[in-house]
Structure 1
């Protein structure tokens, strides 16, 4: 039977929104007693449990709002399969100092080498460190901005995409963009310039961005802002998908180059 004191304590913890302490109180106090903690140490122990619960919920909510296509971590990345990558550089980027500084990060390389995996992994690290993140494909981004322009809501959409501390734009260059896409992209990059970080993955090198946007002048203006404070990662290696097919004998080694070229 629940005592009046216990019931009152539960109500107070609920009112204070200390739900982790409320839900685990007996177990936490038993653990504190087992460790022979002092009163001060017990209070710290209870607060740590509450903070851990709140951090877990914050990260879960932020990941949901980020709209990642899937959940991957940097620990899952097969660095041995991509020797052109420097793990130390990725670990340094995982500290998120570049996000704190409002820098841009460009990740370029052929299809299937793990660019999106890295983007998602770095995005999750940013969330863990308290930064807001939004993930969107380049084609979807341009479609949304184009529709907003037609509907007279472009300013509203630009503000939306300018809010997150980190905006991840995936797969730039994979699909053809609309004629005026470059101008819309430029407006967004200008809005975020030195205010928020942007991470872009692309199968094209920056020297080819003129063909992506069908306008070399606009591409130059975009890159002028992106590269001012930036980090560039270039991955040179086999596609994970093609490598697995090759290992299983579904394709011959000579087919890898042909298949990779066809997917660009």
Structure 2
């Protein structure tokens, strides 16, 4: 084989491999040609030909296999062929940033954490041409081809109506009694005919357990839309002994009805 022919063959192989990579990359939670919607690098929903992911059953590839748009669906991991849907395990996780400053909710949407273990308050949006990066204190960094994303999830899949900031109101005037009262609760906003001051204050695990006032496992306050985080409360003689916050394993969801983590989405959790 001549040197020219050998170089030509090598070039065709490189082009073919690049073509396969491009063909494999898709979007998260979108029905593909093989009738599945990958929700992360190894899990997927079935579509049944109607272009809608059926969320009643979540399927998982075997360890060492990726969810792809190929006929086999789950294909052995390869550096030359990325999964259809990138890494979403750090979506909404404050601990993805070393200073617990913010959490990436998607490729271009973020929420602030202010040192807490979960994000609260309004959603922020990265400028065009940038992506959310929890490894940088800048939050949004220029988008570069092939870069690893903190939360590889389409922006349109984030329900931005679920933000539920914890608030307090101080020295508000009641519009019905005309008297001045001071609110000590940290989860309600008192309406005022004059002026109300709203402040975002994340609750501690002790405060959350005190509101639950029972021993067991419960959803955090406000509830985690991804159903990943929950609290453990232990009371003895009506006294709180211990409180702690935990995360469900990847690809599982906390179900408050059973007080446990389950791999089947109960139907109200955003895909993680």
Larger relative helix fraction: 1
TM-score normalised over the length of structure 1:
0.27
Greater relative contact order (Cα 8 A, min sep 6): structure 1 or 2? 1
TM-score normalised over the length of structure 2:
0.26
